[in-house]
Amino acid sequence: MLPELLAPAGGSAQLRAALRFGADAVYGALKEYGLRAYAGNFSWEELDREMRLVHGQGKKFYLTLNILPYEDELPGFLAAARRAWEMGVDAALVSDLGAFLALRREAPGLKVHISTQANTLNAEAARFYYGHGAERVVLARELSLDRIARMREALPEELTLEAFVHGAMCMSYSGRCMLSDHLTGRGGNRGQCAQPCRWEYALVEKKRPGEYWPIEEDARGTYLLSAYDLNMLSHLPEMIRAGVGSLKIEGRMKTEYYVATVVGAYRRALDALAESEEKYRSLLPELEKEVRKCSHRPFNTGFYFGPPSPAAGAEGFTQEMEYVGQVESWENGVAAVRIKNRFYVGDTLELLCPAGAFPFRVEEITLPDTGERKDTVSVAGQRVLVPLAHPAATGDFLRGPNRNHRLE
């Protein structure tokens, strides 16, 4: 049986991309009580609408309530959880022990998943949560696959183990970091992280103010604290054998294009693996190229095979292709496209859809209201018509070469 593929939904556009490109479930937050305060997140009205969409497709919506609440915040936190339960969310993710126990008491029918922020590292801790009503534990990111496998053997089958499979990694222990709070007043455990671990640092000697020396870790530069992105696309059989029941993609601050690209790659990998490991292995080179076509830092495999290597020093983002538009409709070989970034007649673009990526040449660009033909379009949000022979559907993407791309 394949594990669940769980996708981030920072807002409605990302949620719809996740569903279209093959996620089994999504996770997202309200405007309060989640750990991504600067994502779009969902109002109560949006949550109700999007949850109906999710459930209409037979999929699940998990609500992130994983803030570490103060005493005065608990009443509002619990009220929000009860309302979400009544609306039909499939589970709530929590990280604080007191919040977990209060939820089990005040909203006993609401299923609870224990967040990675609870840094669950052993079967004893997982059994504690299970014994108090949790149905899932999102494992600490510091666990190896060998340790996960030993935990799985020691735990009841009914308790699902969830683990991150792709995306940005926090440099601090299970995401518990005070650096942003100390330097900027924006608390990471309050959903407001400014990511100062991604900044470039230099050294200043006390008696020589204004004289800066670079901190050179290696030839890559001075990003001493910046973690690499996780990528386990080539190791899905090992994750399944270790007993991971839900594969979680990080990225509630990411665009809908990022969500579509990564979710689509993992969906295709899992479906190929369901047929045979040989088919999965044969598809991997294409899929590894695919996840490099959206914004990412250099990749490693986290802690799954021992300490991360390299441990840190990830310098900036790169992506091989750029999101240039989204398909609104397709009929008789012509796509109506909502523009995101500039492209030109004569460009070779790719149509990104759940089945994969299909290149085509832009033969013409037409304004639908006037019939005027253009050589290029550059106004974000503008709607144009583009001949497209390959069948497309609402929610597919167009992308082109990123002219600013640098190799990893």
Q: Is the pLDDT of residue 180 over 60?
A: no
Q: Which residues contact 349 (CB under 8 A, 6 or more apart)?
A: 324, 343, 359, 360, 361, 362, 398, 399, 400
CB-side exposure of 16: number of CA atoms within 13 Å? Answer: 13
In a domain, residue 394? The reply is yes
pLDDT range class, residue 219, cuts 50, 70, 90: very low
Pick from 209-218, 259-268, 291-300 the range whose average pLDDT is largest: 259-268
Look at residue 209 in the predicted model and tell me its pLDDT.
77
pLDDT range class, residue 326, cuts 50, 70, 90: very high
Range of the domain at 47: 4-169+229-300
Q: Is the pLDDT of residue 308 over 90?
A: no
In a domain, residue 89? The reply is yes
In a domain, residue 308? The reply is no
Residue 352: CATH number of its domain: 2.40.30.10
Judge if 222 and 235 occupy the same domain: no
Tell me what the mean pLDDT of segment 17-27 comes to: 98
Top pLDDT among 168 and 93 is at 93
Contacts of the segment 124-130: beta carbons below 8 A, 24+ positions apart? 126/151, 126/155, 126/159, 126/161, 127/154, 127/155, 127/156, 129/100, 130/155, 130/156, 130/158, 130/159
Top pLDDT among 296 and 182 is at 296
Q: How many domains does the chain have?
A: 3
Domain boundary residue among 271, 300, 329? 300
Give the separation between CA 178 and CA 189, rounded to whole angstroms.
8
Tell me what the mean pLDDT of segment 168-184 comes to: 63
Quick: pLDDT tens for 75-86.
999 999 999 999
Look at residue 408 in the predicted model and tell me its pLDDT.
40
Q: Counting beta carbons within 10 angstroms of the beta carbon of residue 385, is it exposed (0 to 12), middle (13 to 18) or buried (19 or more)?
A: middle
In a domain, residue 406? The reply is no
Tell me what the mean pLDDT of segment 274-281 comes to: 97
Q: Is the pLDDT of residue 305 over 60?
A: yes
Judge if 69 and 107 occupy the same domain: yes
Provide the token pair at 48.
């109700």
Could you tell me which of 197, 230, 195 has the C-alpha nearest to residue 310? 230
Look at residue 32 in the predicted model and tell me its pLDDT.
80
Could you tell me which of 153, 202, 133, 143 has the C-alpha nearest to residue 174? 143
Q: Counting beta carbons within 10 angstroms of the beta carbon of residue 230, is it exposed (0 to 12), middle (13 to 18) or buried (19 or more)?
A: buried
In a domain, residue 310? The reply is no
In a domain, residue 314? The reply is no
Q: Which residues contact 6 (CB under 8 A, 6 or more apart)?
A: 23, 24, 25, 26, 27, 62, 162, 246, 247, 248, 249
Tell me what the mean pLDDT of segment 141-158 comes to: 97
Look at residue 221 in the predicted model and tell me its pLDDT.
47
Domain boundary residue among 226, 251, 266? 226
Judge if 41 and 157 occupy the same domain: yes
Judge if 141 and 283 occupy the same domain: yes
In a domain, residue 306? The reply is no
Look at residue 323 in the predicted model and tell me its pLDDT.
95
Could you tell me which of 241, 266, 392, 253 has the C-alpha nearest to residue 330? 392
pLDDT range class, residue 64, cuts 50, 70, 90: very high
pLDDT range class, residue 193, cuts 50, 70, 90: low
Judge if 123 and 183 occupy the same domain: no
What integer best gives the mean pLDDT of the chain?
88
Judge if 159 and 62 occupy the same domain: yes
Q: Report percent pLDDT > 90 for the chain.
A: 72
Judge if 143 and 59 occupy the same domain: yes
Q: Is the pLDDT of residue 311 over 90?
A: no
Judge if 182 and 153 occupy the same domain: no
Judge if 295 and 259 occupy the same domain: yes
Judge if 273 and 155 occupy the same domain: yes
Q: Are 202 and 212 in contact (CB under 8 A)?
A: yes
Distances (CA, A) of 150 to 82, 160, 163, 304: 35, 14, 15, 13
In a domain, residue 311? The reply is no
Look at residue 225 in the predicted model and tell me its pLDDT.
61
Q: How many C-beta atoms surround the C-beta of residue 361 within 10 A?
A: 10
Look at residue 348 in the predicted model and tell me its pLDDT.
96
pLDDT range class, residue 229, cuts 50, 70, 90: confident
Q: How many C-beta atoms surround the C-beta of residue 61 within 10 A?
A: 24
Judge if 205 and 241 occupy the same domain: no
Q: Is the pLDDT of residue 396 over 90?
A: yes
Quick: pLDDT tens for 342-395.
999 999 999 999 999 999 999 999 999 999 999 998 888 999 999 999 999 999
Give the separation between CA 188 and CA 185, rounded to whole angstroms.
9
Judge if 363 and 244 occupy the same domain: no
The helix/strand count (H/E) of the chain reads as 10, 22
